[in-house]
Amino acid sequence: MKGSLGLGKILGIPIRLHFSWFLIAGLLTWSLASGYFPQSYPGWASSTYWIVGGLASLLLFASVLLHELGHSVLALRERVPVKSITLFIFGGVAQIGREPPTAGAEFRIAIAGPLTSLGLAGLFGGLGAALADNAAAAATLAYLARVNLLLAAFNMIPGFPLDGGRVLRAALWAWRGDLSYATRWAARTGQAIAFLFIGIGVLQFLFTGFGNGIWWVFIGWYLNNAAQSSYQQVRLRELLTGVKARNVAMEQCLPVSGSLEVDRLVEDHVLRDGERCFFVTDSDTPQGLITLEGVRSASRKRQAGLTAGQIMTPVDLVAPADVDEDAWDLLRKMAEEEVNEIPVVDSGRLLGLITRENLWNHIQLRSELAA
């Protein structure tokens, strides 16, 4: 979910708006104002259609946000951290910090979203009936009631990572007691449904035109990728279970003087000796860290006379990992922060570096041993 805007926090959860949301919000508003409402409720002023269309669009996304908050509240209650909620072109997604601890927790978190949408459908339907004398308000509320009902029904399709797929995973997990097995079969079901959606889209291309099938294909493509990604995450997490930073091969960082010129560091240590990281020291006290990325950045600047002290990352700006930190958390941190290495400390003392390459080699070896 790169490329998103922060909107603030609800219950301590950051709420973000992906740039793709603006595209779908504009398309939806245009579709409602020029198509759905004029056809369903003829005779209104043109400005009324646009006001109602814009309001319905915003309230629909507010409903999606409440759907994701339903998941998030239950996740927090089950002591599963929620890192953020992002609204984007296909709706919304709540990013949780880890898998639920039990099948029961997975079921409760998954079902909370559809139940929230069902509650909203009832609320909007009741308000629409109460405001029947106001045609524009009643029409908007009736639309929101139907859409929330459809949102709940769609999300209960039993294909991972939809809510119904997570309910299916919870059932399989409770039956077999094996999260990997449950995730694998729930993900396969999700992929089968994704290909079904793509097939429906292709048929619509052939018989009713391009526009009628494009969304089916996009949704199928998204679900297929999400199902594959979700299973791969669970598999990686299993392979790294119990692995600590101290267990992963760490590259020792060579101590160098802060006055050492970058040209000499490259020639004498990177190219000749194959060193990949350096501690800039002053009387044996680390002052900063230099990685290959820092060296590359300095080389791109092509400034003669740069020293190690000038290109280092100061120690107080380095976010190191503790030797007992989980390798899975480190891998996720690297992906989220788009870094290729993390320094490792033991009681405040810098020991070396864990690289993304280290972790992937460790994962590969564990995967081959488990095969």
Structure tokens at 30: 């245009």
Report CA 180 to chain centroid distance, whole Å. Answer: 20
Q: Using CA atoms, how far apart are residues 272 and 266, in angstroms rounded to an integer?
A: 8
Q: 292, 281, 354, 356: which is closest to 323 by C-alpha?
A: 354
Residues 72, 109 contacting (CB under 8 angstroms):
no
Cis status of the peptide bond prior to 158, with omega within 30 of 0: no
Name 101's Cβ contacts closer than 8 Å, sequence gap at least 6.
Answer: 78, 79, 80
Residue indicated by tokens 């919000």: 25
Q: 371, 354, 99: which is closest to 251 by C-alpha?
A: 354
Q: At what angle do helices 210-239 and 179-208 cross, to 10 degrees?
A: 170
Q: Using CA atoms, how far apart are residues 304 and 313, in angstroms rounded to an integer?
A: 19
Q: Which residues pair with 346 in a beta bridge?
A: 349
Q: How many residues does the chain have?
A: 371
Does residue 325 have an active-site annotation? no
Query: Is the torsion defined by CA of 113, 115, 116, 121 positive or negative?
Result: positive
Pairing of strands 254-257, 277-282: parallel
Q: Which of the residues 68, 106, 275, 341 is marked catalytic? A: 68
Name 11's Cβ contacts closer than 8 Å, sequence gap at least 6.
Answer: 69, 72, 73, 76
Report CA 183 to chain centroid distance, whole Å. Answer: 18
Q: Using CA atoms, how far apart are residues 259 and 305, in angstroms rounded to an integer?
A: 10
Question: Helix or strand or coil: residue 193?
Answer: helix
- Indicate the residue type of 297: S
Query: Measured in Å, how far apart are the chain's first and last C-alpha atoms?
Result: 33
Structure tokens at 212: 């009628």
Catalytic residues: 68
